[in-house]
């Protein structure tokens, strides 16, 4: 089944604008394929170092270059709930590889930081650039040229994008991504949000807040709301980088372990030593990227991926723009309601039919490219399934359910929650910005109010505590872009602005910083580009300027004459506190090199 004409047209546009960079990328991939990845290119001394710690059976296999060697790149650490389950994965993978007649080695580890831990803290200013550090760390592990394929163990916000950038940089190798799964459901996310609001209003204390947070984030696995981490898992599956049905199976279950073993065997099966060679640089193409964007919009996924998807696509020589993402959003109906776009969590989404149901609905409605290559073979239809544990401990698969298990959580393409997707580009005299509209009620999608300007989320929160914000206004939080302070998430704004909206005030946010997949009911024009420190007009807004945010029309304007705005001197920020402490001094070079948000906000590109 072919995709709809509008999907085909946007894909063709991406293909055309990417032609020079994509052709150069594929030429590099093909050159690398033709020269290896075989250990025979290594000298005897090189090779001896590469298998010195192996047992005699693996040494003999690697010395003869007869079997495939699987490189494991892991983001394991045992502080973070999402990554703690990876502790046991390498042994599962090594045993599965041995059972399949191959070898597996841990190629290297990458850092994994948690935005939930660093939220509102100095460490958050390292978060976005950790994506680039992760990509470089993975590259160091793979640079030994000992591997015929790689598996990538990662889950959360910057980890999966960084790992995919690395995988595509080593595009001559097959790549399979192996998730750890979400934690089981705890305190409902809306109840957690209610307690946060009560705490912000001084109606409950820290003990009550910590109890609610601990009941919500309570065990191994990803957080259960539909933020960037779970958007990552959706993307890896709909782009064909997971084995079918792998995304949302809970950690430490027999099915999770069976999927991990299966993924390792599949990675070995698609190496150049077999009959199904699937180098990831050839596998991921413009159609795969479009499928990812459609999935993001159909599920109301994370705004962070308007940055990450651009950077990931660029690693494959594909030029994806915000306008492409917005146009695909206009063509994509919203089929999922998962918190903060609804009350359900990702476990409820999975129980309602999950990725298999979603992919089948999108395929049947012509919203996805079916004719793509995946790690499972030809065609995305293979992913319209539901995984189960077979009697022998392996993975079995059945067709996705015909009906949603809960049509308030997951619906059909014929009866969408709204006719368009979750993300939209705003344009105007402030530049370009992103807004996530799927969680914003229609009556709050057009806001016109005076600006109140702040240079940090802490300053706005202090103004709220002082009783200065009980009015209609547009909060302008600037000098939060990648060049200024590394573009930390400003998640702590969500609670305060939500309280004011609940009180009947018309409020909105305009910022050159990030929010996250957790951005919710308050209209927020984020990622404003150019950022204030890069000459953006957001740096010239003054208190009292009337700002009009129109998410329906896709516009963002400050209602002063363009000549007046241009004639103003830009604000001069004091960023001295952002350059040191918690490792921030080590990232000064990355801030200086940072690309614009609409170009992926990375330190290389």
Residue range 446-485, pLDDT digits in tens: 999 999 999 999 999 999 999 999 999 999 999 999 999 9
Q: Is 245 helix (H, G, I), strand (E, B) or coil?
A: coil
Q: What is the pLDDT of residues 152-163, one digit of tens each?
A: 999 999 999 999
Determine the pLDDT at residue 367.
98
Determine the pLDDT at residue 60.
67
Give me the mean pLDDT over the 257-275 stretch.
95
Give me the mean pLDDT over the 489-495 stretch.
87
Instruction: Give the H or E element holding residue 462.
Output: helix 457-465
The residue to which tokens 């590889």 are assigned: 97
Annotated binding site: 156, 223
The set of long-range contacts for 396-401, using a CB threshold of 8 Å and a minimum separation of 24, is 397/244, 397/245, 399/356, 399/360, 400/353, 400/354, 400/356, 400/357, 400/359, 400/360, 401/353, 401/356, 401/357
93 close to 102: Cβ distance less than 8 angstroms = no
Q: Is 147 helix (H, G, I), strand (E, B) or coil?
A: coil
Give me the mean pLDDT over the 315-342 stretch.
95
State the Cα–Cα distance between residues 34 and 237, nearest whole angstrom.
Answer: 29
Instruction: Give the H or E element holding residue 104.
Output: strand 103-109
Give me the mean pLDDT over the 219-236 stretch.
94
The model's confidence at residue 224, banded by pLDDT at 50, 70 and 90, is very high
Give me the mean pLDDT over the 118-143 stretch.
95
SS (H, E, C) 521-554: CCCEEEEEECCHHHCCHHHHCCCCCEEEEECCCC
Find the distance separating the first CA and the last CA of the chain, reported in whole Å: 35
pTM: 0.94
Show the beta-strand stretches assigned E in 457-592.
473-477, 507-511, 524-529, 546-550, 555-558
Give me the mean pLDDT over the 578-596 stretch.
96
Judged against a pLDDT cut of 90, whether residue 341 lies above it is answered with no
Do β-strands 507-511 and 473-477 pair in parallel, antiparallel, or remain unpaired? parallel
Of 156, 155, 153, 147, the residue nearest 174 (C-alpha): 147
Determine the pLDDT at residue 196.
84
Tell me the torsion sign for CA atoms 88, 91, 96, 97. Answer: positive
The residue to which tokens 């690395």 are assigned: 166
360: left (phi over 0), alpha (psi -120 to 50) or beta: alpha
186 close to 144: Cβ distance less than 8 angstroms = no
Do β-strands 69-74 and 149-153 pair in parallel, antiparallel, or remain unpaired? parallel
Tell me the longest C-alpha to C-alpha distance in the chain.
Answer: 76
Q: Is 235 helix (H, G, I), strand (E, B) or coil?
A: helix
State the Cα–Cα distance between residues 1 and 255, nearest whole angstrom.
Answer: 31
Annotated binding site for [4Fe-4S] cluster: 156, 223
Q: What is the pLDDT of residues 28-62, one digit of tens each?
A: 999 999 876 566 666 777 777 777 777 877 766 77
With a pLDDT cut of 90, the percent of the chain lying above it is: 81
Determine the pLDDT at residue 218.
83
Cα–chain-centroid distance for residue 112?
14
Tell me the torsion sign for CA atoms 292, 293, 294, 296. Answer: positive
- Burial grade of 231 (CB within 10 A; 0-12, 13-18, 19 or more): buried
Residue 43 neighbours by CB distance under 10 Å: 8
3-state helix, strand, coil in the chain (%, to 5): 45, 15, 40
Of 163, 188, 176, the residue nearest 83 (C-alpha): 163
**For the chain, counts of helices (H) and of strands (E):** 22, 16
Cis peptide before 530 (omega within 30 of 0): yes
Query: What is the residue-averaged pLDDT of the chain?
Result: 93
Give me the mean pLDDT over the 93-108 stretch.
96
Q: What is the pLDDT of residues 516-564, one digit of tens each?
A: 755 678 999 999 999 999 999 999 999 999 999 999 999 999 999 878 9
Judged against a pLDDT cut of 80, whether residue 66 lies above it is answered with no
Token output for 356: 């298999």
Q: What is the pLDDT of residues 278-323, one digit of tens each?
A: 999 999 999 999 999 999 999 999 999 999 999 999 999 999 999 9
105 close to 151: Cβ distance less than 8 angstroms = no
């Amino acid at each position: 089944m072919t995709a709809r004409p509008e999907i085909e047209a946007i894909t063709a546009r991406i293909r055309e604008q990417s032609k020079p960079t994509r052709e150069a990328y594929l030429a590099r991939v093909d050159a690398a394929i033709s020269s290896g990845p075989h250990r025979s290119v290594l000298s005897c001394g090189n090779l001896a170092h590469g298998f010195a710690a192996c047992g005699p059976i693996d040494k003999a296999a690697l010395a003869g270059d007869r079997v495939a060697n699987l490189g494991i790149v892991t983001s394991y650490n045992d502080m973070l709930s999402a990554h703690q389950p990876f502790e046991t994965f390498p042994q599962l993978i090594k045993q599965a590889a041995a059972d399949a007649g191959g070898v597996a080695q841990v190629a290297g580890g990458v850092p994994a930081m948690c935005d939930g831990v660093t939220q509102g803290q100095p460490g958050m200013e390292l978060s976005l650039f950790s994506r680039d550090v992760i990509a470089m760390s993975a590259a160091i592990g793979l640079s030994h040229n000992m591997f015929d394929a790689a598996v990538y163990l990662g889950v959360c916000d910057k980890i999966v994008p960084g790992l995919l950038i690395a995988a595509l940089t080593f595009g001559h190798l097959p790549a399979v991504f192996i998730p750890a799964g979400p934690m089981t459901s705890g305190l409902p996310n809306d109840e957690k949000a209610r307690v946060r609001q009560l705490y912000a209003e001084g109606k409950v204390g820290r003990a009550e807040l910590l109890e609610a947070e601990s009941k919500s984030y309570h065990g191994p696995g990803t957080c259960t709301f539909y933020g960037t981490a779970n958007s990552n898992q959706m993307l890896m599956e709909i782009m064909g980088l997971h084995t079918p049905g792998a995304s949302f199976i809970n950690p430490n279950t027999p099915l999770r372990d069976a999927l991990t073993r299966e993924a390792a065997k599949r990675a070995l099966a698609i190496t150049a030593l077999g009959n199904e060679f699937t180098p990831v640089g050839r596998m991921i193409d413009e159609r795969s990227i479009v499928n990812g964007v459609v999935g993001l919009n159909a599920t109301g996924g994370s705004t962070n991926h308007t940055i990450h998807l651009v950077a990931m696509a660029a690693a494959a020589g594909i030029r994806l723009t915000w306008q492409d993402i917005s146009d695909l959003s206009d063509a994509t109906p919203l089929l999922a309601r998962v918190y903060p776009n609804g009350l359900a969590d990702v476990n409820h989404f999975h129980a309602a039919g999950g990725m298999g149901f979603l992919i089948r609905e999108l395929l049947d409605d012509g919203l996805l490219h079916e004719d793509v290559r995946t790690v499972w073979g030809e065609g995305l239809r293979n992913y319209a399934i539901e995984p189960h544990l077979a009697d022998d401990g392996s993975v079995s698969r059945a067709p996705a359910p015909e009906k949603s298990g809960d049509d308030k959580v997951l619906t059909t393409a014929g009866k969408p929650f709204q006719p368009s997707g979750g993300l939209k580009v705003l344009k105007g005299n402030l530049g370009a910005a992103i807004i996530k509209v799927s969680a914003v009620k229609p009556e709050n999608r057009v806001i016109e109010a005076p600006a109140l300007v702040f240079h940090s989320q802490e300053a706005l929160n202090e103004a709220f505590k002082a009783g200065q914000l009980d009015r209609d206004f547009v909060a302008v939080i600037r000098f939060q872009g990648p060049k200024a302070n590394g573009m930390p998430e400003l998640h702590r704004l969500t609670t305060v602005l939500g309280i004011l909206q609940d009180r009947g005030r018309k409020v909105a946010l305009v910022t050159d910083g990030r929010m996250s997949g957790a951005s919710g009911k308050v209209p927020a024009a984020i990622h404003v580009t150019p950022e204030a420190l890069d000459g953006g007009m957001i740096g010239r807004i003054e208190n009292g300027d009337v700002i009009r945010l129109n998410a329906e029309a896709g516009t963002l304007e400050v209602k002063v004459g363009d000549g007046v705005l241009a004639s103003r001197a830009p604000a001069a920020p004091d960023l001295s506190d952002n350059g040191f402490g918690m490792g921030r001094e080590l990232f000064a070079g990355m801030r200086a090199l940072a690309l614009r948000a609409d170009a992926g906000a990375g330190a290389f590109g």
